[in-house]
Amino acid sequence: MKKWLIPVIILAVIAFALYQWGVGFNNKAVELEADAKTAWSNVESAYQRRNDLIGNLVKTVQGAADFERETLTDVIEARSKATSTTIDANNITPEQLAQFQQAQTGLSSALSRLLVTVERYPELKANQNFLELQSQLEGTENRINVARDRYNEKVNLYDIHTTKFPGKILAGLFGFDEMPRYKANPGSENAPDVDFDFSS
């Protein structure tokens, strides 16, 4: 065997190993990124379910005589803003996430005020449709929390993979950017109070 062939073979083996490493890193990053995007879609789906339930709640409340229109209008406007604030899962930025959170927080606040006002309306508190919506809203708030936690878990796996050395070098070359996590607003770590106690 010619002596010059040995370094060529060694270089070829090293190049092949680096190629395999790069392909493996890229494929894993693509998989983790897709998992995080799917988890974000589940967050949006949970919020959409809540928005739909709130729409039904508004229709039920509108039937009550002399119900405070201003309170109802606040919920309708907040719901409209929340449903119009969307995020492209392929390009989630911290700014978009903050805007989305702000819209959802506004809706939660308006809903809380509406539910406090309902206490003055015995016919609403006895309405079977309203009671069923209450139960579904409570369950949906739990789904939202679970979906947000799962999104953060998936983002965490992706970010660890793309920011640990030496993967960070390849992440920059392949265009994998860090993904933002869902951060609850201060004081909003608990679901909005949608518990109606109509026993009194």
Give per-residue pLDDT as tens, 157-192.
999 999 998 889 899 888 899 999 988 665 554 554
Q: What is the pTM of this model?
A: 0.79
pLDDT, average across residues 32-46: 94
Per-residue pLDDT, 195: 47
What are the pLDDT digits (tens) for 121-148?
888 777 888 888 888 988 999 999 999 9
Q: Name all domains of the chain by residue range, CATH numbers in brackets.
A: 22-174 (1.20.1440.20)
Per-residue pLDDT, 194: 47
Per-residue pLDDT, 107: 92
Q: How many CB atoms lie within 10 A of CB 134?
A: 20
What are the pLDDT digits (tens) for 48-89?
999 999 998 888 888 765 667 888 889 999 999 999 888 888
Per-residue pLDDT, 81: 92
